């Protein structure tokens, strides 16, 4: 964890609690902090799995902090206050804020000012801040990743006991099947309770032994992280460049394993129904696995997340060719419709 943060922060091993993957670790933190019906503010769009991981068994609630494309989906203090006030008016107790940094699905990192705003906000309202930093070593271009741990050390008036970090080896080291999740909390009570609860999702001794041996090889880890970042950057640049040639723009991202595509111009009309229709066509006819923005609770229509890192170069070629053919056919149909005589247009609309 110190290595992927460039040695800019130190972690106390006694505050680390291991659990069965990031999924189990995130649920454990919610169990530690919230009672039945309590809520957490989560900037949207957010990881769709949160609806399962954070709510199913804990019976906690998620209140969305709405972000939009006008400022590249950055979370603002105003948006946080609106969501907090909404919860108060509904007589819902807010226990904290949860963010993913770098973001899933956006692939962007939080800047220093935004992180300080978040810390100040939770300090003022005496609520918790949970930072999921599972993609921290996937940054492939500027700006660099800033951990909430750095902000905690920099800010003079910070209630450290309100800050908690989630981590895993599944993204940074490509080891999702090993089910190694980590809770790092500055709160002594949370550390004790999480350690007690970890008995229900232990990481096996064999797994820990193997990973300890692997991570102790610092030369290997350094080379792996550098090569992984390099390959992600090359793949991201190639993928977005080809999409741009097709007239498809993406949010300017710098981390993660996905891009946030803007397909608004391909919608038949500005409704979520039209977004789902477009998604079904892409899934069933174009044969590409993408995720619609509505599944990430974004308020704007036409955004889609596509993963670019979990395939070889030949598969990328196939995927890009399919997208190109799909967009080309849509553009051709639009041109044909414009060129049609009025009677033929009416007939096609009836059909």
Chain segment 276-330, per-residue pLDDT in tens: 999 999 999 999 999 999 999 998 999 999 999 988 999 999 999 999 999 988 8
Which one of the listed residues 30, 98, 100, 134 is annotated catalytic? 134
Cβ-contact 41, 60 below 8 angstroms: no
Find the largest Cα–Cα distance for the chain.
76
pLDDT number for residue 53: 92
What contacts 293, CB < 8 A, 6 or more positions away? 45, 275, 300, 301, 302, 303, 304, 305
Residue 135 designated active-site: no
3-state secondary structure of 213: helix
Contacts 24+ apart (CB under 8 A), 292-295: 293/45, 295/48
What confidence category does residue 347 fall into, taking pLDDT thresholds of 50, 70 and 90?
very low
262: β partners:
249, 303
pLDDT number for residue 329: 86
pLDDT number for residue 336: 57
Distance from C-alpha of 126 to C-alpha of 7, rounded to nearest angstrom: 30
Distance from C-alpha of 224 to C-alpha of 172, rounded to nearest angstrom: 9
What confidence category does residue 334 fall into, taking pLDDT thresholds of 50, 70 and 90?
low
Which one of the listed residues 38, 132, 172, 262 is annotated catalytic? 132
Q: Report how far apart, in Å, the C-alpha atoms of 37 and of each of 40, 89, 127 are.
A: 10, 15, 15
Domains and CATH numbers, the chain: 6-216 (3.40.640.10), 220-336 (3.90.1150.10)
Which one of the listed residues 127, 167, 171, 282 is annotated catalytic? 171
Q: Are strands 249-250 and 258-262 parallel, antiparallel or unpaired?
A: antiparallel
End-to-end CA distance of the chain: 59
Cβ-contact 206, 21 below 8 angstroms: no
Residue 269 designated active-site: no
Residue 116 CB neighbours (<10 A)? 17
- Which tens digit of pLDDT belongs to each residue from 235-258? 999 999 999 999 999 999 999 999
- Angle CA 318–323–326, to nearest 5: 125
Residue 132 designated active-site: yes
pLDDT number for residue 156: 85
User: Which range, of 72-76, 127-131, 172-176, 262-266, averages the lowest pLDDT?
Assistant: 172-176
- Which tens digit of pLDDT belongs to each residue from 187-236? 999 999 999 998 888 899 999 999 999 999 999 999 999 999 999 999 99
Residue 171 designated active-site: yes
Q: State pTM to two decimals.
A: 0.90
């Amino acid at each position: 964890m110190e290595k992927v943060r460039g040695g800019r922060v130190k972690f106390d091993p006694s505050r680390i609690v291991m659990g069965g993957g990031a999924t189990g670790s995130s649920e454990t933190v919610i169990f530690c902090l919230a009672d039945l019906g309590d809520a957490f503010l989560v900037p949207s769009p957010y990881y769709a799995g949160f609806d399962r991981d954070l709510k199913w068994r804990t019976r906690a609630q998620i209140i969305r902090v709405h972000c939009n494309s006008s400022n590249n989906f950055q979370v603002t203090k105003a948006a946080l206050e609106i969501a907090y006030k909404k919860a108060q008016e509904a007589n819902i107790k807010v226990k904290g804020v949860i963010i993913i940094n770098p973001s899933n699905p956006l692939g962007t990192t939080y800047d220093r000012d935004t992180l300080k705003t978040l810390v100040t906000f939770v300090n003022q309202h005496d609520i918790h801040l949970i930072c999921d930093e599972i993609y921290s070593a996937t940054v492939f271009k500027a700006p660099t990743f800033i951990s909430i741990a750095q902000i905690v050390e920099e800010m003079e008036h910070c209630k450290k006991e309100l800050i908690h970090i989630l981590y895993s080896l599944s993204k940074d080291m490509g080891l999702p099947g090993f089910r190694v999740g980590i809770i790092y909390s500055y709160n002594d009570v949370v550390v004790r309770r999480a350690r007690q609860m970890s008995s229900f999702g232990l990481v096996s001794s064999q797994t820990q032994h193997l990973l300890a041996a692997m991570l102790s090889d610092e030369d290997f880890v350094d080379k792996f992280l550098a090569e992984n970042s390099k390959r992600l950057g090359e793949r991201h640049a190639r993928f977005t460049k080809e999409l741009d040639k097709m007239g498809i723009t993406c949010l300017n991202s710098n981390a993660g394993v996905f891009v946030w595509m803007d397909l608004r111009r391909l919608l038949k009309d500005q409704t979520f129904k039209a977004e789902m229709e477009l998604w079904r066509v892409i899934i069933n006819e174009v044969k590409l696995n993408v995720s619609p923005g509505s599944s990430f609770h974004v308020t704007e229509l036409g955004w889609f997340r596509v993963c670019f890192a979990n395939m070889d170069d030949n598969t990328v070629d196939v995927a890009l060719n399919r997208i190109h053919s799909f967009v080309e056919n849509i553009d051709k149909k639009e041109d044909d419709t414009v060129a049609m005589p009025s009677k033929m247009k009416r007939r096609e609309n009836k059909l």
